[in-house]
């Protein structure tokens, strides 16, 4: 954090100052070493900053160009700039006090004129990342490859009708896995990008999904070959940029993984705003993946109820992070995954300090969610109410059905004897909701 070269001069290490903190550049709830359910907060939450939004986001939108003021973006040579940007990124990560970051190959290093040149550029930047990782102890949560920006991926990458787009993507992912391994990355993420379609008339969906599976198998095989032990993740998103994407939601992705024999190798990376685009809440996605044994990692952000697209805002809603942390604790936590802020400051929030406000707010919102969820689990009131709702299943008949010793015939005999089923009890949704509000 050398003084003269500081990009975020005047901002020091963000500290935990408790709910009564005076400064807005302080944590009110995220106390990294405070123990919750036997583990420090930092190990529950495993926060990561996404390189693409924090350090490559310009604020451009379909109606206007970038707005972000980033005084350090002043190097004419793109590779030199990429290396310099790593210093800025690590200054930010260190001051924020997060343990992890995530990147796409093309966010950290510029694309060259040829594949070989792009690989060389990446190696130069990875040298810089490695040095800073060693200096600070900050780690890579996961790496990924950008298989969606280049025109060569206009029809998708692994699902492109152009075989050489597939081949190029394979080469790109091979390299991305290698650098992720070199940086000790805890995981590697596949997000579909443009793996989907705009029009079914011109699309061979079966062939495309077969190709996607082939592609993922090649990645798994290569990881095995080079001894990469990181967790693979598949990140659901139903649409945008394509009208339909093959990684629609957790259930669709898990079905895909099982159909193609990938279920032992790949878990879910679930993103809040993608869940809402699919017509779900993130709690649904976490529960679904958790109950199926596919809970991997989280891309944390939030959408806007009035804007129907992937706005990638920073999470500020404690009710939502409580729901998330309740499910995450229930299924045994995220490690080796974590909570990656796949979120961007608004186009109107263009000053460097806004990056701090955004991440501090997100971290505090999750820390509160964690504390509340742990309190709910500690006294077990909600759990008890859920068990009461299912009490009939703990009687002799329920036990026999769950044990698999009943059949349609035996159940028919039982109900013919009784004449009718016992009356149902109230669902008590309002009571549940009121109980939850007593913790907030
Ligand atoms: C885009 C995705 C993307 C992935 C990584 O909507 O969220 O950022 O997380 O490729
Ligand atoms: Ni994401
Ligand atoms: Ni997204």
Residue 235: CB within 6 Å of ligand 1? yes
Q: Which pLDDT score is estimated for 4?
A: 60
Give distance in angstroms: CA of 193 to centre of ligand 3.
10
Q: Which helix or strand (DSSP H or E) is residue 206 part of?
A: helix 205-226
* Spatial contact of 244 and 260, defined as CB atoms under 8 Å apart: no
Residue 103: CB within 6 Å of ligand 1? no
Phi-psi region of 227 (alpha: psi -120 to 50; beta: other; left: phi over 0): left
Tens digit of each residue's pLDDT (9 = 90 or more) over 260-318: 999 999 999 999 999 999 999 999 999 999 999 999 999 999 999 898 888 999 999 99
Active site includes 210?
Answer: no
**Cα distances (Å, whole numbers) of residue 6 to 1, 90, 145:** 7, 11, 29
Whether residue 438 has pLDDT greater than 50: yes
Whether residue 250 has pLDDT greater than 60: yes
- Which of 101, 232, 235, 236 maximizes ligand 1 atoms within 8 Å of its Cβ, making it the mutation to test the pocket? 235
Q: Which pLDDT score is estimated for 1?
A: 46
CA-based torsion, 249, 254, 260, 263: positive or negative: positive
* Spatial contact of 78 and 118, defined as CB atoms under 8 Å apart: no
- Which of 144, 194, 236, 313 maximizes ligand 1 atoms within 8 Å of its Cβ, making it the mutation to test the pocket? 144
Q: Which pLDDT score is estimated for 2?
A: 46
Q: Which pLDDT score is estimated for 307?
A: 87
Q: Which pLDDT score is estimated for 3?
A: 54
Residue 312: CB within 6 Å of ligand 1? no
Among the options 31, 87, 105, 107, which is catalytic? 107
Q: How confident is the model at residue 5 (pLDDT cuts 50, 70, 90)?
A: confident
Give distance in angstroms: CA of 355 to centre of ligand 2.
18
The residue whose C-alpha atom lies closest to atom 10 belonging to ligand 1 is 191
Active site includes 244?
Answer: no
Residue 237: CB within 6 Å of ligand 1? yes
Residue 16: CB within 6 Å of ligand 1? no
What is the pLDDT of the chain when averaged over all its residues?
Answer: 97
Residue 191: CB within 6 Å of ligand 1? yes
Whether residue 415 has pLDDT greater than 50: yes
What is the mean predicted confidence (pLDDT) over 337-362? Answer: 98
- Which of 100, 271, 315 maximizes ligand 1 atoms within 8 Å of its Cβ, making it the mutation to test the pocket? 271
Q: Which of 339, 330, 334, 265 is nearest to 302 (CA)?
A: 339
Atom number in ligand 1 closest to CA 310 = 6
Q: Which pLDDT score is estimated for 247?
A: 98
* Ligand number with the minimum distance to the CA of 313: 3
Query: What one-character DSSP code corresponds to residue 230?
Result: P
- Which of 191, 310, 337 maximizes ligand 1 atoms within 8 Å of its Cβ, making it the mutation to test the pocket? 191
Q: Which of 327, 316, 311, 322 is nearest to 362 (CA)?
A: 316
Q: Which pLDDT score is estimated for 308?
A: 81
Q: Which helix or strand (DSSP H or E) is residue 321 part of?
A: helix 318-330
Give distance in angstroms: CA of 421 to centre of ligand 2.
47
The residue whose C-alpha atom lies closest to atom 4 belonging to ligand 1 is 191
Residue 53: CB within 6 Å of ligand 1? no
Residue 87: CB within 6 Å of ligand 1? no
For Cα atoms 175, 180, 182, give the angle at the middle one, nearest 5 degrees. Answer: 95
Q: Which pLDDT score is estimated for 79?
A: 98
Give distance in angstroms: CA of 112 to centre of ligand 3.
26
* Ligand number with the minimum distance to the CA of 144: 1
Give distance in angstroms: CA of 304 to centre of ligand 3.
13
Tens digit of each residue's pLDDT (9 = 90 or more) over 15-45: 999 999 999 999 999 999 999 999 999 999 9
Number of H helices, E strands in the chain: 16, 12
């Amino acid at each position: 954090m050398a003084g003269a070269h500081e990009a975020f001069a005047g901002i020091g290490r963000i500290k935990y100052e408790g709910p009564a903190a005076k400064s807005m550049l302080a944590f009110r709830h995220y106390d990294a070493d405070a123990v919750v359910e036997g583990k420090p907060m930092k190990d529950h939450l495993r926060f990561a900053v996404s390189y693409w939004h924090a350090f490559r986001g310009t604020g451009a939108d379909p109606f206007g160009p970038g707005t972000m003021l980033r005084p350090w973006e002043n190097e004419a040579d793109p590779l030199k700039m990429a290396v310099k940007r790593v210093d800025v990124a690590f200054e930010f990560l260190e001051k924020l006090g997060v343990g992890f970051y995530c990147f796409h190959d093309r966010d950290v290093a510029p694309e060259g004129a040829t594949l070989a040149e792009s690989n060389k550029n990446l190696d130069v930047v990875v040298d810089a990342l490695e040095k800073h990782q060693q200096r600070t102890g900050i780690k890579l949560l996961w790496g990924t490859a950008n298989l969606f920006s280049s025109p060569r991926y206009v029809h998708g990458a692994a699902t492109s009708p152009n075989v050489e787009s597939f081949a190029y993507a394979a080469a790109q992912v091979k390299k991305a896995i290698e650098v992720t391994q070199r940086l000790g990355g805890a995981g590697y993420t596949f997000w579909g990008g443009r793996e989907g379609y705009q029009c079914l008339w011109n699309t061979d969906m079966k062939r495309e999904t077969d190709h996607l599976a082939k592609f993922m198998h090649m990645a798994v095989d290569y990881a095995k070959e080079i001894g990469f032990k990181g967790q693979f993740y598949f990140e659901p998103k139903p649409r945008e940029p394509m009208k339909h994407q093959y990684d629609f939601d957790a259930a669709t992705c898990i079905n895909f993984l099982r159909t193609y024999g990938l279920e032992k190798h790949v878990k879910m990376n679930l993103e809040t705003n993608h869940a809402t685009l699919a017509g779900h809440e993130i709690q649904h996605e976490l529960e679904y993946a958790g109950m199926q044994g596919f809970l991997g990692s989280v891309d944390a952000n939030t959408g806007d109820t009035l804007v129907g697209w992937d706005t990638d805002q920073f999470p500020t809603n404690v009710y939502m992070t409580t729901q998330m942390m309740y499910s995450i604790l229930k299924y045994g936590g995220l490690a080796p995954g974590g909570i990656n802020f796949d979120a961007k400051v608004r186009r109107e929030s263009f000053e460097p300090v806004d990056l701090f406000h955004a991440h501090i707010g997100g971290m505090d919102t999750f820390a509160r969610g964690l504390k509340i969820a742990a309190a709910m689990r500690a006294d077990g009131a909600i759990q008890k109410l859920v068990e009461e709702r299912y009490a009939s299943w703990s009687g002799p008949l329920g036990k026999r059905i769950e044990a698999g010793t009943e059949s349609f015939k035996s159940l028919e005999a039982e109900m013919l004897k009784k004449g009718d089923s016992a009356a149902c009890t109230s669902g008590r949704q309002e009571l549940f909701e009121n109980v939850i509000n007593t913790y907030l």
